[in-house]
Amino acid sequence: MTRILTSLFILIVFSGCSGKSGTEKSGFVRGDFIIAQHGMVVSAHPQSSAIGVKILQKGGNSVDAAVATAFALAVCYPEAGNIGGGGFMIIRTSNGKSEVIDFREKAPFNATRNMFLKRNGDVSEGESTETLLSSGVPGSVDGLIYAHSKYGILPFRDVIQPAIELAGYGFTLTGDQAQDLNSNRENFIKRNSVRPPFVKDSLWKEGDILIQNALEATLKRIRDFGRDGFYSGKTARLLIKEMKKGTGIISDTDLKEYKSVSRASISTDYKGYKVITVPPPSSGGITLIQLLGMIKPYPFKEWGFHDSKTIHLMVEAERRVFADRSEYLGDPDFVRIPVEQLTNKKYLLQRMSSFNEKKATASFEIKPGSPDGYVSEETTHFSVVDASGNAVAMTTTLNGTFGNSIVVDSAGFLLNNEMDDFSVKPGFPNMFGLVGGEANSIKPGKKMLSSMTPTIVEKNGKLFLVIGSPGGSTIPTSVFQVVVNVIDFGMGIQKAINSGRFHHQWLPDWINYEKNAIDSVTACKLAEMGHELRLRSSIGRVNAIMILPDGEKVGGADKRGNNSAYGY
């Protein structure tokens, strides 16, 4: 009976989607969907997803699989997978408890407020993105080891070993990756004193094998010595030596003192679903909760999916939320963040009181509220669920594609350029066009504000969705739209992800949109309301898992990249 009901559910929810199933994916394939009965991993590269699933099949739980997937991504997805960066992980165990692990990078102790300004006060262009000075103290290795030591059930060496082999034997480049590496070739050559493995004499092509021996050796040190294999000893010495080749300021003390932080998740009720997400120093969770709270009172389901009125409502909410972000959000260990006030139902209603259903509000008219009263897509998100229903949503990044493109010589890993996520000067936009002020100013040991939004959704107290995305400032709006597509518009997860997206972030005052999100008539209606529209090739790359009532897992891998759902 359950099987019949499930089939019916799939048929109803997923009708309207068609297309070819992937050939290289494991798990059952129904139409366009990868369905797994036991466990599933959806990540940015087929080899990292396969590694995660193998760990599950060996008896590992979702945290073992997540840690294995993350280390594998550091090898086979150097665009964003990393050991030289940071991120956020949200874990929900099958008994319904959740924990956020914040392994965001930190400003080195020698960082100063105006470190990216010239004498005349102007921003020194490129310094916060292209140089050794752009790197925050990496958090990924500490975060992964912390997560594994608390939740993992397989030995750490078994979990990291597949990544070591992937580095030593090499991984297969996808077509997109060959292109990414080729277009970044000049940066790799210019910014490194020793040629990194990402550069070879000829250009890369799909199917080439990329071997990373120095990275393999670093991963072995992490396998053998745990966090000391990265934050002290040979790896640390190599990193500091790299810093000294230029203007880098990460010191021995910075590395020794880095500690990831366990934080309580934040959540909201949205139409009977519980949305559980990450707190600051990511802005993503608060942004998502504010957005859902702001649109909730409006009958946009009646207005219709991607109707001009619906898009207008969502965009106007986004405009207001990003204005708040610019003023109030930063590292909670340094600034007081009014989380409860910002997500308070009455505050959100009051914030939307200036919403005009027929007219765009100019961003200059929107100031941050009073709660007391051009880019690449290279962060990476993956989702994991194991057979017992433990779930992990993890988003990690080097910030820019390949970070600052600087590879630590003889240690083989790329450095992040996360310092650009600070507000380097009040009102000066970062690489995602985001502006900020005092709350996100640079201070020694402080974490730069993030937009990463790994999220878990419960339905009737049971695990329902595991979701997240890369995309800088577009991360929370991408997650927001997919959640709304599923909950309000009844879409299956793949259709919800495939649907076109749009994005507004207060400043600059325009709507970015994908071409399948807004048709010509809708575009004209939005323009008549006063919106400026700008086409963008893609917005976000959502990797999600939806859990069906009988426990089957449906993979949602974003076709905007080489994302792959694997299950068993």
Catalytic residue set: 379
Provide the greatest CA pair distance for the chain.
74
Binding ligand DON (rule: CB under 6 A), the pick from 212, 308, 450, 505 is 450
The minimum distance between CB 103 and ligand DON, in angstroms, equals 12
Which has the closest alpha carbon to 517: 536, 531, 532?
A: 536
The minimum distance between CB 228 and ligand DON, in angstroms, equals 27
DSSP H helical ranges for 245-299? 252-257, 284-295
How many residues belong to the site for ligand DON (CB under 6 A)? Answer: 16
Per CB under 6 A, 558 contacts ligand DON: no
Per CB under 6 A, 543 contacts ligand DON: no
Per CB under 6 A, 396 contacts ligand DON: no
Per CB under 6 A, 277 contacts ligand DON: no
- For ligand DON, which is the closer residue by CB, 104 or 531? 104
- For ligand DON, which is the closer residue by CB, 363 or 430? 430
Half-sphere exposure of 358 (CA within 13 A, CB side): 0
Q: Which of residues 207-246 bind ligand DON (CB under 6 A)?
A: none
Residue/partner pairs of 244-251 with CB below 8 Å, 24 or more apart: 245/132, 245/193, 245/409, 246/131, 246/132, 246/133, 247/127, 247/131, 247/132, 247/133, 248/131, 248/132, 248/133, 248/135, 249/108, 249/110, 249/111, 249/133, 250/108, 250/135, 250/137, 251/108, 251/109, 251/110
Question: With b meaning 16 or more CB within 10 Å and e meaning fewer, what string describes 291-317?
Answer: bbbbbbebebeebeebebbbbbbbbbb
Per CB under 6 A, 78 contacts ligand DON: no
Which has the closest alpha carbon to 83: 181, 277, 227, 242?
A: 227
- For ligand DON, which is the closer residue by CB, 178 or 375? 375
Per CB under 6 A, 429 contacts ligand DON: no
Q: Which two tokens stand for residue 48?
A: 């990292």
Q: How far is residue 134's CA from residue 441's CA, in Å, rounded to a whole number?
A: 14
- Rg of the chain over Cα atoms, rounded to whole angstroms, equals 22
The minimum distance between CB 308 and ligand DON, in angstroms, equals 28
Which has the closest alpha carbon to 145: 134, 155, 135?
A: 155
Q: Which two tokens stand for residue 219?
A: 């991963």
Per CB under 6 A, 421 contacts ligand DON: yes
The minimum distance between CB 181 and ligand DON, in angstroms, equals 17
The minimum distance between CB 83 and ligand DON, in angstroms, equals 16
Binding ligand DON (rule: CB under 6 A), the pick from 135, 290, 441, 451 is 451
Stretch that binds ligand DON, among 8-16, 57-65, 364-372, 468-476 (CB under 6 A): 468-476
Binding ligand DON (rule: CB under 6 A), the pick from 180, 216, 378, 514 is 378
The minimum distance between CB 338 and ligand DON, in angstroms, equals 21
The minimum distance between CB 562 and ligand DON, in angstroms, equals 15
277, with CB counted inside 10 A (0-12, 13-18, 19+), is: buried
Per CB under 6 A, 260 contacts ligand DON: no
- For ligand DON, which is the closer residue by CB, 248 or 436? 436
- For ligand DON, which is the closer residue by CB, 66 or 449? 449
- For ligand DON, which is the closer residue by CB, 36 or 115? 115
- For ligand DON, which is the closer residue by CB, 162 or 471? 471
Q: Which two tokens stand for residue 343?
A: 């997500």
Binding ligand DON (rule: CB under 6 A), the pick from 60, 152, 468, 470 is 470
The minimum distance between CB 470 and ligand DON, in angstroms, equals 4
SS3 178: helix
Strands, E, within 411-461: which ranges?
Answer: 455-459
- The pairing of beta strand 533-535 with beta strand 511-513: parallel
Stretch that binds ligand DON, among 89-97, 222-230, 292-300, 372-380 (CB under 6 A): 372-380
The answer to whether the peptide bond before residue 46 is cis (omega within 30 degrees of 0) is no
- For ligand DON, which is the closer residue by CB, 413 or 464? 413
- For ligand DON, which is the closer residue by CB, 142 or 378? 378
Per CB under 6 A, 129 contacts ligand DON: no
Q: How far is residue 291's CA from residue 326's CA, in Å, rounded to a whole number?
A: 15
Binding ligand DON (rule: CB under 6 A), the pick from 377, 458, 514, 552 is 377
Per CB under 6 A, 324 contacts ligand DON: no
Stretch that binds ligand DON, among 39-47, 217-225, 449-457, 508-516 (CB under 6 A): 449-457
The minimum distance between CB 560 and ligand DON, in angstroms, equals 11
Binding ligand DON (rule: CB under 6 A), the pick from 471, 476, 492, 567 is 471
Stretch that binds ligand DON, among 26-34, 48-56, 178-186, 469-477 (CB under 6 A): 469-477
Which has the closest alpha carbon to 245: 415, 57, 95?
A: 415
> By the 8 A CB rule, do 104 and 86 touch?
yes
Binding ligand DON (rule: CB under 6 A), the pick from 399, 423, 477, 563 is 399
Give, for 270, the enclosing helix (H) or strand (E). strand 266-270
DSSP-assigned beta bridge partners for residue 565: 42
- For ligand DON, which is the closer residue by CB, 86 or 229? 86
Residue with tokens 């078994």: 158
Per CB under 6 A, 472 contacts ligand DON: yes
The minimum distance between CB 133 and ligand DON, in angstroms, equals 16
Question: With b meaning 16 or more CB within 10 Å and e meaning fewer, what string describes 490-528?
Answer: ebbbbbbbbbebbbbbbbebbbbbbeebbeeebbebbee
Q: How far is residue 288's CA from residue 367's CA, in Å, rounded to a whole number?
A: 19
Which has the closest alpha carbon to 434: 314, 539, 334, 324?
A: 324
- The pairing of beta strand 273-277 with beta strand 266-270: antiparallel
Per CB under 6 A, 248 contacts ligand DON: no
- For ligand DON, which is the closer residue by CB, 135 or 450? 450
The minimum distance between CB 235 and ligand DON, in angstroms, equals 23
Binding residues for ligand DON (CB under 6 A): 375-379, 397, 399, 418, 421, 450-452, 470-472, 475
